[in-house]
Amino acid sequence: MRALALIIVFAIPGSVVCGQAAPAGSAFDVASVRQSQRAVGPDYNNQITYSPAGFRARNVTLRRLIAEAYRLQLNQIVGPEWLDRNEYDVEAKASGEDSRELMAARLRGLLAERFKLATHGETREMRVYELVVGQAGAKIHPVKDGDTVTARRGFHFHGDMQRFADLLAVQLSIPMASNPSQPMRASGPPVPVLDKTGLQGTYDFSVDIRPELGTDLFTLWQRALEDQLGLKLENRKSTVEVLVVDALEKMPTEN
């Protein structure tokens, strides 16, 4: 279950900011944007990391960059098919420490400047999963200042419930591998997972998921969510805000 792990760890929570422009003064001080020398495949190894004063991405697709900038999940970005094919390396730095909100604003400005990105927001009905609290109640609690976190076996998570919903959206798009020795890869833009738990705060927990022959990842995750976290996924049709790409260039302007 290692595919896309780095994306998950550093994904921005998915509150919608469709069409929001970068505020004045939000540009990165230094930014390098180049086409990746070697493609690794759509959304397989989009390595994205954040630091207090910077953003770094390797082999990242434009769909992933736009999703990061607008704090959306991949299936909420509507645009040409090549959004998932072309890959880029990005290194951007800013002075001082940024919040994730300001970092996202800087990234929106970078996309507008280097790729001439223009967008507009819409709402569309689509299939979604809603992450909700199970009948018996949640088995997890937010961490408090001074709490000691004990590492446990399994898939470790740290963040709020919206970030966990983002994690699930990508994990559920990964088909079971026929060859256990091969890494599992996402099969396409994931179905959006909407946080409907009502749980506030930051959580730190591990989910122990073990592959089983003939059992798909949705079933494995659903079982783990209910047994270990007191949560569950509900399959629904819902009206979802999406970001439509009106204009975008494949090649970034020179650094």
For 166-217, how does the pLDDT look when each residue is reduced to its tens digit (9 = 90+)? 889 888 877 655 544 444 444 455 788 999 999 999 899 999 988 888 888 8
236 contacts 114 by C-beta, under 8 angstroms: no
> Residue 43's closest CA among 242, 188, 241?
188
**Residue at which a domain ends, from 64, 97, 123:** 123
Residue span of the structural domain in which 68 resides:
5-123
Find the helix packing angle between 100-115 and 62-70, rounded to 10°.
140
Same domain (yes/no): 89, 171: no
Number of domains in the chain: 2
Q: Per the domain annotation, does 115 fall within a domain?
A: yes
**Residue at which a domain ends, from 97, 123, 149:** 123
Q: Per the domain annotation, does 253 fall within a domain?
A: no
Q: Provide the sign of the torsion angle of the four alpha carbons 38, 42, 44, 46, taken in this order.
A: positive
Token code pair at residue 65 = 């960059």
Same domain (yes/no): 132, 110: no
Q: Per the domain annotation, does 244 fall within a domain?
A: no
Same domain (yes/no): 59, 87: yes
132 contacts 196 by C-beta, under 8 angstroms: yes
> Residue 228's closest CA among 211, 210, 207, 213?
207
Same domain (yes/no): 140, 235: yes
Same domain (yes/no): 104, 131: no
∠ CA(88), CA(89), CA(91), 5° rounding?
A: 140
- Identify the pLDDT of residue 40: 80
193 contacts 27 by C-beta, under 8 angstroms: no
Same domain (yes/no): 136, 51: no
167-171, 189-193, 231-235, 247-251: least confident range: 189-193
**Residue at which a domain ends, from 72, 99, 123:** 123
pLDDT above 90 (res 102): no
- Identify the pLDDT of residue 32: 93
Same domain (yes/no): 148, 229: yes
Instruction: Specify the higher pLDDT residue, 49 or 65.
Output: 65
Q: Per the domain annotation, does 223 fall within a domain?
A: yes
- Identify the pLDDT of residue 31: 92
Q: Per the domain annotation, does 173 fall within a domain?
A: yes
Same domain (yes/no): 112, 159: no
Task: Give the pLDDT band (50/70/90) at residue 252.
Answer: very high
Same domain (yes/no): 156, 196: yes
Q: Per the domain annotation, does 176 fall within a domain?
A: yes
Q: Provide the sign of the torsion angle of the four alpha carbons 232, 237, 242, 248, taken in this order.
A: positive
Query: pTM for the complete prediction?
Result: 0.68
Same domain (yes/no): 42, 119: yes
Same domain (yes/no): 22, 107: yes
Q: Per the domain annotation, does 72 fall within a domain?
A: yes
Q: By CB neighbour count within 10 A (0-12 exposed, 13-18 middle, 19+ buried), where does 226 fall?
A: middle
Q: Per the domain annotation, does 250 fall within a domain?
A: no
Same domain (yes/no): 112, 29: yes
